[in-house]
Chains A and B, each alone.
Chain A
Amino acid sequence: MTSVLESLNQGLHAAFAQDARVYLIGEDLLDPYGGAFKVSRNLSTQYPDRVWTSPVSEAAIAGVGAGMALRGLRPVVELMFGDFSTLVADQLINSITKFPAMYNGAAQVPVVIRTPMGGRRGYGPTHSQTLEKLYLGVPGLRVLAPNTLSDPGDLLRRAILEQNDPVLFVENKVLYPKQVLDNAALADFEIQASTQDFAPTHTLRLKGAPRPALTLTAYGYMAELAREALTRLAFEHEIFCELVVPTQLAPLPAGGGLQPALQASLQHSGRLLTIEEGTYSLGWGAEQLARAAQHFGGRLQAARRVAAAEAPIPAARNLEDAALPTLEDIISAAREMV
């Protein structure tokens, strides 16, 4: 079995091996350290001239990556914590995603900015956030979030080598030690894999379960909790759900439509519960629910969100647990909907 961390590391190694245009820029990248979360381990040893450990200058390394991408390379920029993406926001919003369109299609900026996000590690208000919602809806930005249902490293490798759009690649920290699930680990589930534009989406239901009464949708680490909730809801409450797990958070289908897998699931469940680790209002879940309402109108019988409290994420364990969405939150929201 492979952990998400190992898989991502393998994905980077594969991209480096496959294409000499791939570079990595970030803080504290050199071995034996290999980056703060070790995703970049052994790269500086194997590719010393293509791994550039940088000063603590997030805006500049994002810009340097952008300039390299503009001139035909395939750089990856590692941000040590997703919380620091705010320092990169100008580069991302006013340069990286602007150039392709504002230069009338004559420029491409295929840079991948990858970063850990998320809490449950006690790092406190400025090192625990799930900030990708700030970047969802930036035109021209592709936001990807791996999970344990499909190969995270392969998604990263493809984002680096096959994607001409700039990519924000969001890795939930708690996912790193989790195993990428194989068929045996998922033996209880009936799984449908589909592709949303560029990236995989998975739809799960328990084998032999009756027609689902509720659709859950979650990405990243929250998909782990949602999967557990799905099983418990079935066995403890006889509520049968289907879980839709996308890896592409943006862009969403043009014209306001739902991702096809989510639409298909809602077609038979008619109820949608969105689950995310970002704060409650104005977020990813809100957009899914708005699209579901727009598409299904009165046929959408119930709609709810589970998300983080609208407060800084506290450092104390019990406070952090209270601020972030839990398994119990998902189960009780689902029970209120069916």
Chain B
Amino acid sequence: MSDDAALYTQLATIRRFEETVLDAFPKGAFYGTTHTYIGQEANAAGVLAHLHDGDLVFSNHRCHGHFLAYGGDARALFAELMGKATGVCGGIGGSQHLHWKNFYSNGVLGSTAPIAVGAALAEKRKGSQAVTVLFLGDGAMGEGVVYESLNIASLWGAPVLFVVENNHIAQTTPTELAMAGSLAGRFAAFNIPAVELDSSDAREIYAAAGQEFAQLRSTPGPRALILHTARFGPHSKGDDTRDPAFIEELRATRDPLTIHGARLEESERTAIEAEVDSAIAAAYAQAEADPLPEHAAYVKAGY
């Protein structure tokens, strides 16, 4: 498979997974909450394509796309959302709390920042070559602990790539109502080199991230990649407060699948889509058939 085809497969997998989530939620297939990645797929696909074995990823509430791009299993993720024993975390974590290999997510905004810095410092001290990627939204930039962490990351030379996904909204609050100053200025204040990109093109993001990773692996200290992006779906489920016409415009102009899909032959693109559709459908069906976790054992295991 060509690089373009592989990248498209990633984008389509995330898209199809998230569409399935939004379709199936009202039917009662899942329990709890979810935050879909529709519109932002190029970020995870473009950034995480550069991971080496052993690199670490810390993610947030909107973590499905990050998890799938990291190589996570769609069936295990569906199962986690369904509260099944075969879920990524046996049904304990749910949609926002995933851990598999070196991937960790937490739904408490900003709380992962110092943990990612500490993990990166630990890898450095252990002499591993691993670097750490931390995904933050524009909304998470309101949390004070993020700035404590930027300061320490810079002071102590933590090999962290801070990836800010600025989709211009936090739940329902537009960034203009929540953020004074600029994103780039925030990193500049701590002497953390930052690259800014306003794109939904997976190739462009891939290229920019590639340079960041190359720098991160060869020079000491943290870096930042600020990705201006677009959220097409609701914050969670059916809670979009934005004008539908605005979302239509976003979908028409900033769809990572349309932008990158145009690089493929029509036949190749549709073949990939058909393959992804059936893989996601199969993952969903498997998860649906999976068993529930043992509740008696869970309560007993806790003290």
Nearest CB of B to A66, in Å? 5
Nearest B residue to A49 via CB reads B125
Q: Chain B contact residues: over half helix, strand or loop, or mixed?
A: helix
**Please, which residues of chain B bring their CB within 8 A of the CB of A71?**
56, 118-119, 122-123, 126
Nearest CB of A to B236, in Å? 19
A73 within 8 A of B: yes
Nearest CB of A to B221, in Å? 15
Q: Count A-side interface residues using an 8 Å CB cutoff.
A: 38
In the complex with contacts A60-B149, A70-B104, A103-B99, A95-B115 CB distance below 8 A: yes
Q: Which listed residue, A57, A68, A98, touches B118 by the CB 8 Å rule? A: A68
CA distance A54 to B111 in the complex (A): 18
B227 within 8 A of A: no
In the complex with contacts A94-B106, A104-B90, A251-B303, A59-B115 CB distance below 8 A: no
**Please, which residues of chain A bring their CB within 8 A of the CB of B90?**
104
**Please, which residues of chain A bring their CB within 8 A of the CB of B149?**
60, 63-64
**Please, which residues of chain A bring their CB within 8 A of the CB of B121?**
64, 67-68
Q: Chain A contact residues: over half helix, strand or loop, or mixed?
A: helix
The answer to whether B148 and A101 have CB atoms under 8 Å apart is no
The answer to whether A91 and B148 have CB atoms under 8 Å apart is no
The answer to whether A61 and B156 have CB atoms under 8 Å apart is no
**Please, which residues of chain B bring their CB within 8 A of the CB of A94?**
106, 108, 111
- Given A54-B152, A95-B108, A139-B302: 8 more A-B contacts, CB < 8 Å: A59-B148, A60-B151, A63-B149, A72-B126, A101-B92, A102-B93, A104-B90, A106-B100
B202 within 8 A of A: no
Interface residues of B in 96-116 (CB under 8 A from A): 97, 99-100, 104, 106, 108, 111-116
**Please, which residues of chain A bring their CB within 8 A of the CB of B115?**
63-64, 66-67, 70, 91, 95
**Please, which residues of chain A bring their CB within 8 A of the CB of B183?**
none
Nearest CB of A to B180, in Å? 21
Q: Which listed residue, B97, B99, B111, B151, touches A90 by the CB 8 Å rule? A: B111
Nearest CB of A to B115, in Å? 4
Q: Which listed residue, B100, B123, B144, touches A59 by the CB 8 Å rule? A: B144
CA distance A71 to B121 in the complex (A): 9
Q: Which listed residue, B100, B125, B151, B156, touches A73 by the CB 8 Å rule? A: B125
Q: Which of B93, B125, B126 has the most CB of A within 10 A?
A: B125
Q: Which of B90, B100, B118, B151 has the most CB of A within 10 A?
A: B118
CA distance A103 to B99 in the complex (A): 6
- Between A and B, 9 residue pairs with Cβ closer than 8 Å are A23-B125, A52-B156, A55-B152, A55-B155, A67-B117, A95-B106, A102-B97, A104-B99, A252-B303
B145 within 8 A of A: yes
CA distance A71 to B145 in the complex (A): 20
Interface flags for B285-302 (1: CB within 8 Å of A; 0: not) read 000000000000000001
CA distance A140 to B302 in the complex (A): 8
CA distance A102 to B120 in the complex (A): 21
The answer to whether A103 and B111 have CB atoms under 8 Å apart is no
The answer to whether A90 and B108 have CB atoms under 8 Å apart is yes
Interface flags for B50-86 (1: CB within 8 Å of A; 0: not) read 0000001000000000000000000000000000000
Interface flags for A53-97 (1: CB within 8 Å of B; 0: not) read 011010111111111111111010000000000000011001100
**Please, which residues of chain B bring their CB within 8 A of the CB of A102?**
89, 92-93, 97
In the complex with contacts A59-B114, A63-B114, A64-B117, A73-B108 CB distance below 8 A: no
CA distance A64 to B106 in the complex (A): 15
**Please, which residues of chain A bring their CB within 8 A of the CB of B156?**
52
Interface flags for B151-167 (1: CB within 8 Å of A; 0: not) read 11001100000000000
The answer to whether A63 and B118 have CB atoms under 8 Å apart is yes
Nearest A residue to B98 via CB reads A103
**Please, which residues of chain A bring their CB within 8 A of the CB of B118?**
63-71, 75
A185 within 8 A of B: no
Nearest CB of B to A292, in Å? 19
The answer to whether A107 and B114 have CB atoms under 8 Å apart is no
CA distance A67 to B123 in the complex (A): 10
**Please, which residues of chain A bring their CB within 8 A of the CB of B116?**
67
The answer to whether A103 and B114 have CB atoms under 8 Å apart is no
**Please, which residues of chain A bring their CB within 8 A of the CB of B104?**
70, 99, 103, 107
The answer to whether A72 and B114 have CB atoms under 8 Å apart is no
The answer to whether A64 and B155 have CB atoms under 8 Å apart is no
CA distance A64 to B114 in the complex (A): 5
CA distance A52 to B114 in the complex (A): 15
The answer to whether A66 and B114 have CB atoms under 8 Å apart is yes
The answer to whether A139 and B303 have CB atoms under 8 Å apart is yes
Nearest CB of A to B223, in Å? 18
**Please, which residues of chain A bring their CB within 8 A of the CB of B93?**
102-104
